[in-house]
Amino acid sequence: MGMEFNKETFRKDFTFKNSAKAIKRFPFPFYEDSYMYSVNMEPHVPGPKGSVFEPMFDVDEHYVAEMQDRAMVLAEDPLRCQSLPHMTLAGWDLLELIMESKARDYPEWFELHKDGHNWHWINRPLGIDQKFTFLDESTLPYGPMEYITRQSQGDFTLQDQRDDNLWIEAGMVTTQADWSLDFDIGMSFHEWHAPVPRAHELGVFDRALKFLLKLQHGAPVRRFNWTLTVDPLLDTSPENYPKWGPMRADISPENVGERMYLRVELQTLHRLPRSNAIAFPIRCYLIRFDDLVTVPKWGRRLHRVLRDIPEDLATYKGFLRNRDSLVKWLSQYDDGAPTSTGWMAD
Amino acid sequence: MRSRPVYGELTPRPGSGHLFVADGEGAEAILDLFQKAGAQASSLLEKSHIIYMPGPNGTDFGARLEALGAAQYHRSPSFASAQSRLKKVLADAHMGLQIYLAGTEGLMGQAQRDVIEAGLPHEAVQTEHRGSTVRRVQCVHCKGITENVRTDPIKCSHCGLHLFVRDHYSRRLAAFQGVNIDAEDPGQVPAAVERFK
């Protein structure tokens, strides 16, 4: 079941492309024809074969290129990966979770051999063969969190739990929807979510925190989040906003299909066994509007969601200035037919 | 905005020692506290260390604070110049030290950060906001901090970008976040409005 990994870029010439298979398995996030914040968490149990839910951590055709992009972001700005000193144990927990999951779910690509604390990790797609001592930082080229998240698609944050709260105190954040780890590190749950409109008033964060404080080891949960991005740029960081902000002004009715992307985050939450911290992988999937509307249900639904979304949410998600162009373009793909409940293609 | 700290009112508490850090009008919060202490004031003063600096608006009540007669009184021209002294006092602190911070948000935030870094319990810290509402702002782009921000937008004092001043606040940085306001339409910078005095 060998897979070709795409040779592609997420910057400058933007050669990123989804294959027909990737379009078919795209995690379309809208369960119905409208959108509002909710806790919307469900158990992260293996989903249908071939779906992004099948493995614990999905590895897809973009894997190698995404890891190359991450290395470039980190070379430009090392502050995208930070871990407060007391979070190292949680980093080891995360390394173990990812290595065990990948070796189990993709044995042809990843192997993990353990002899007591002497571990041997093989990552074939990235050409890595590493022997190290578990829990001994000096035996790896980076700290444990940085080491393993340089080999895993998606952003990762680690939350310490104390005083009945969660504290974001470590993270690898290079594919983010416009938030800064460097600014938010050390904040409590409500503090780092402070800028989100409406959700506080809806009680979403109170309920989510209550739920997460009780999260059990071995029972991970998942939810979706989403936004829109111009061009397949993974690094939409606030740090680099002066570089990518002007791209938003390039959108016209003629180029919507080609240059607008739906950006979906598959967020999972895992209780870690030794540190009692919570790992929060935020996996980003991009799909070009032109590709998205090849699934009729998705085209209809995205049109209705963007047309009806409240203005403050469109502002927060950064597409208010282009909303009219997007809705007009998408309306070509909405014949008004009813759509079925759930996110699967009809 | 939920990331902004909530400030209270300074009240005398029993403790093995009392450390006061204040700027500008924050001096009056300390004077009021000793007023409230009544008969206890003199025994409190015997164990008090006051570090004071003028406010960003120039307010200087140093003479009135010094006249209280605390065991130690120190006036600094700025927080930066007071910081090494503050860190030494915190490093030498005994169990039961009570900490009182008063004045501008920037002063309290920076002092509180030093308190946390020194490993002192946050329950030992009281804060009271008095005086100027000027902000410390971190440019999210170049990471430089601009002090005493009065207007929105501002020009970053390090990289020169025009920044919108968000209400999002980091206690670790003791600063609000500044984000480039004309990133999408370079050159279109709205006129600065005085939002913080």
Query: Residues B48, B54: contact at Cβ < 8 Å?
Result: no
Edge to edge, the sheet with strand A278-288 lists: A42-43, A221-230, A260-271, A278-288, A155-162, A165-172, A81-83
- Do residue B3 and residue A180 have CB atoms under 8 angstroms apart? no
Q: Is residue A8 part of a domain?
A: no
Q: Which long-range contacts (CB under 8 A, 24 or more apart) does B159-164 make?
A: B161/A242, B162/B189, B163/B137, B163/B139
Q: What is the DSSP letter of A236?
A: B
Query: Residues A98, A144: contact at Cβ < 8 Å?
Result: no
Report the C-alpha gap between A90 and A172 in whole angstroms. 13
Structural domain containing residue A171: 20-41+60-331
pLDDT surpassing 60 at residue A2 = no
Q: How many residue pairs from chains A and B have C-beta atoms closer than 8 A? A: 66
What is the pLDDT at residue B21? 98
B17-129 is classed in which CATH architecture?
3-Layer(aba) Sandwich (3.40)
Average pLDDT score over residue span B33-56: 96
pLDDT surpassing 50 at residue A109 = yes
Closest CA to A182 of A194, A193, A171: A171
Active-site pick, A25, A104, A150, A223 = A223
Q: Is residue A6 part of a domain?
A: no
Whether a cis peptide bond, with omega within 30° of 0, leads into A195 is no
CB nearest B138 (choices: A183, A191, A193)? A183
For residue B23, the cross-strand partners are B53
Write the DSSP assignment of A147-207 as a string of letters: HHHTTSSSEEEEEEEETTEEEEEEEE-SS-BS--HHHHTT-BHHHHTTT-TTTTTTTHHHH
- Grade residue A274 by pLDDT with cuts at 50, 70 and 90: very high
Number of structural domains (chain A) is: 1
Closest CA to A261 of A21, A22, A7: A22
- Do residue A241 and residue B168 have CB atoms under 8 angstroms apart? no
Give the residue extent of every domain in chain B. 17-129, 135-194
Average pLDDT score over residue span A78-93: 97
The rounded mean pLDDT for chain A is 96
What is the pLDDT at residue A1? 45
Each residue's pLDDT tens digit, A6-34: 999 999 999 999 999 999 999 999 999 99
Portion 9-38 of A in contact with B at CB < 8 A: none
Q: Using CB atoms within 10 A of its CB, is residue B105 exposed (0-12), middle (13-18) or buried (19+)? A: buried
Percentage of chain B lying above the pLDDT 90 cut:
92
Q: Is residue A55 part of a domain?
A: no
CA dist list (Å): A328 to A302, A336, B121: 12, 14, 56
CA dist list (Å): A70 to A91, A211, A270: 18, 32, 23
Query: Residues A68, A126: contact at Cβ < 8 Å?
Result: no
- Grade residue B123 by pLDDT with cuts at 50, 70 and 90: confident
Each residue's pLDDT tens digit, A37-62: 888 899 999 989 999 999 999 999 99
Q: Does A203 touch chain B (CB under 8 A)?
A: no
Q: Is residue A344 part of a domain?
A: no
Q: Is residue A343 part of a domain?
A: no
- Grade residue A156 by pLDDT with cuts at 50, 70 and 90: very high
Q: Is residue A162 part of a domain?
A: yes
The complex scores an ipTM of 0.92
Residues of A in contact with B170 (CB under 8 A): 183-184, 186-187
Q: Does B186 touch chain A (CB under 8 A)?
A: yes
List phi, psi (to 5°) of A117.
-90, 0
Q: Does A321 touch chain B (CB under 8 A)?
A: yes
Q: Does B189 touch chain A (CB under 8 A)?
A: no
